[in-house]
């Protein structure tokens, strides 16, 4: 079955290994956060980090999500419709995902 730990123990270990560093960073910086937010250099750094995160999310949206999901004009129309329902009418994301999945199954190949 592979090297130990595997199964639930391996999944739990991976979950802790992925998220623990960020939690430690947040808890470590929390006492200094108010003072840090008022520093112009820290504000500039946070704006840069925010821009980098937006860029990474857009890159992840394009490849592999967009390149593997949008194959025909009907796929594009469904993606635009789902976005508009989320952005303009503020429907719950879980509902939009379910409806888009159903619509994709009905309209799909």
Each domain of the chain, given as residue ranges in start order, spans 70-109
Position 107 pLDDT exceeds 90: no
Position 74 pLDDT exceeds 80: yes
Position 108 pLDDT exceeds 80: no
Q: Say whether pTM exceeds 0.75.
A: no
- What is the percentage of the chain residues whose pLDDT exceeds 70? 98
- pLDDT average, residue stretch 5-11: 91
Positive or negative: CA dihedral 53, 86, 19, 38: positive
CA angle, 11 as apex, 25 and 68 as ends, to 5°? Answer: 90
How many Å apart are CA 108 and CA 70, to the nearest integer? 11
How many Å apart are CA 53 and CA 86, to the nearest integer? 21
Q: How confident is the model at residue 1 (pLDDT cuts 50, 70, 90)?
A: low
């Amino acid at each position: 079955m592979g090297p130990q730990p595997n199964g639930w123990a391996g999944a739990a270990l991976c979950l802790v290994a992925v998220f623990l560093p960020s939690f430690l960073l947040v808890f470590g910086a929390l006492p200094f956060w108010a003072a840090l937010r008022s520093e112009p250099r820290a504000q500039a750094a946070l704006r840069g980090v925010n821009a980098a995160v937006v860029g990474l999310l857009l890159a992840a949206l394009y490849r592999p999500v967009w390149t593997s999901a949008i194959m025909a004009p009907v796929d594009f129309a469904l993606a635009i419709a789902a976005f508009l329902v989320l952005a303009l009418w503020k429907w719950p994301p879980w509902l939009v995902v379910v409806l888009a999945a159903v619509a994709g199954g009905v309209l799909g190949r």
